[in-house]
Chain A
Amino acid sequence: MSLALPYTRAVLRNPNLLFWGIAFMAFWFVLGAYVFSVGLPSNRPSEESYTAAWFAIIALFSLTIIAMSIASSMTYGTDALAFSFRFTRLTPTSYVLSLMASSAAVGFLFSFVMAALVSGLFSAHFGTAIWPSNLVGLVGVSLLSGAFMMGLGTVLVIVVVNYLTLRSLSFIEFVPLVLSYIFGFAQLYVALPPLVLYLSPWNDMESLLYQAYRGSPATVTLATSSSTALYWPYSVLGLVAWVVLLVLIASVLLGRIRSVSVQEGRQI
């Protein structure tokens, strides 16, 4: 785990990540609070649900951006990884766990910054305090979500390095973000079967982030509070299972990492 601290430090000092992971998301929160809220029923439950849903979806996007940025930087160090796994104490599993720990720590910090932004902006707009209800839950789900995103990012990047051309990475990098959009907005408006919501890690994260903020369970359709409530232990179980699966897959793939030149990634 010797890499977790330097990685975390590097991410927190990266102005690009801070901009896209926090500042850009703050822009969406402003839109959510002051533009898209027009027509929202003026009652406490609606405002709470609306705020929690915005927090959950935007936190999901932010975590995706952080994880893919860290994961894609692996392509600059394929020689270093191939050498280190053979001739140092670094193992593929400890490397993945270091990345996950780093991403979890950053995810935790970013989630709290975003929770603060959401609380401030949405409370100011609605004229009533809408604070996160379950801080312990928020810590847990932020850490778990950061770990999941990092695991997914690692697997995607190593698949590209080992089995595809590096040139395809700039397209593959968008896959987690696209899936975050699809599943994130689907749960907002579409009544997906509960089984899909439990098996989909994006919906597990979204449901848990929503519940941690609001304090009551997420529903099958977040925009419809009367829809079926989700059972949060299943969401936790689903997410933990995904994290474990990704650690295993990433460890196997990293053990076979191919040495590539970053120049292979040039489009032209």
Chain B
Amino acid sequence: MPDPALSIHDLTVRYPGSATDAVSGVSLDLEGDRVVVVGPNGCGKTTLLKAALGLTPVTKGSVRVLGHDVRTVRGELGVGTNLADVYRLMTIPVDGLISLWSDLKGGTETEVRRWFEEFGLREALGRPLHRLSTGQTKLVGDLLALAYTPRLLLLDEPFDNVDFGRRHRYIELLARSSATVVMNTHELELLHAFPDWGLYFMFEGRLIGRFRAADLERLYVSRGRRPGAIATFSTAVGEFSVTLDAGEVPMKGSSNLSYLLERVA
């Protein structure tokens, strides 16, 4: 049996000088499936991805990617991410960045260059990342993440500042990929585009789930512990239950989780 694409056990990350954990006791095993992690800004989603990429020190627990301890893995080509900072190896135009990255990943440029054309990014090719708009920078990361057929794809808010048309195109590209995917977002309405994906919620560093994105229409959040709850979680504003088909506030129609919890509380 192959090693899971991503295996996280009891992961805790606390940044120096902080009184609280950015990620607390998270465990996750994924192979061949796709999950979306939904949570408000600052809940630890990006830190979780960074820890999975070895970009932030782990306070406790372990992370393995494609069978390797992330602290010591070397030359594993099957991992892609859209975090723009990982592409800032040097200041060169995006055109050169594609060539450089294709070389470093041992892949061909043809497909990724075609994507750049399809996404209307031809004009961005002549400029370095720091001279692109926020949305263009995000798209460059999104496309480079998907290039070179990754086995594990870690996407941080891939649709932030991306217009509707390009969101739709990227969702199509994602659907064609066979990678194991972890995708962060704070936008609940995005889940409608990924009905067959697994769903986790993240609050104050803790991961809650797993649910099905298709069940979003049936999920409710209520204050306190409810009988028959499929999950309970505590936050700074109190304890909450997630229930199916009945409860205080339906998740559908909520634009983001912070707002949802405020309504429940």
Give A33-58 as 1s and 0s: 1 = Cβ < 8 Å from B's Cβ atoms: 00000000000000000000000000
A266 to B87, CA, bound (A): 23
Q: Which parts of B63-94 form the interface with A (CB within 8 Å)?
A: 70, 73-81, 83, 85-92
B104 at the interface (CB under 8 A from A): yes
Given contacts A86-B74, A91-B74, A91-B75, contact A7 B90 (CB under 8 A): yes
B4 at the interface (CB under 8 A from A): no
Number of residues from B at the complex interface, CB < 8 A: 32
B54 at the interface (CB under 8 A from A): yes
B96 at the interface (CB under 8 A from A): yes
A83 and B74 within 8 A (CB) = no
Residue of A nearest to B106 (CB): A89
A120 at the interface (CB under 8 A from B): no
Give A205-231 as 1s and 0s: 1 = Cβ < 8 Å from B's Cβ atoms: 000000000000000000000000000
Number of residues from A at the complex interface, CB < 8 A: 24
Given contacts A79-B86, A82-B55, contact A87 B100 (CB under 8 A): no
B53 at the interface (CB under 8 A from A): yes
Q: Which parts of A82-100 form the interface with B (CB within 8 Å)?
A: 82-91
B105 at the interface (CB under 8 A from A): yes
A6 at the interface (CB under 8 A from B): yes
A10 to B128, CA, bound (A): 12
Contacts of B77 in A (CB 8 A): 87-89
12 A-B pairs with CB atoms under 8 Å apart are A6-B90, A6-B92, A6-B100, A81-B89, A83-B55, A87-B79, A89-B77, A89-B105, A89-B106, A91-B74, A258-B57, A259-B56
> B interface vs A, CB < 8 Å?
50, 53-57, 70, 73-81, 83, 85-92, 96, 100-101, 103-106
> A interface vs B, CB < 8 Å?
2-3, 6-7, 10, 73, 76-77, 79-91, 255, 258-259
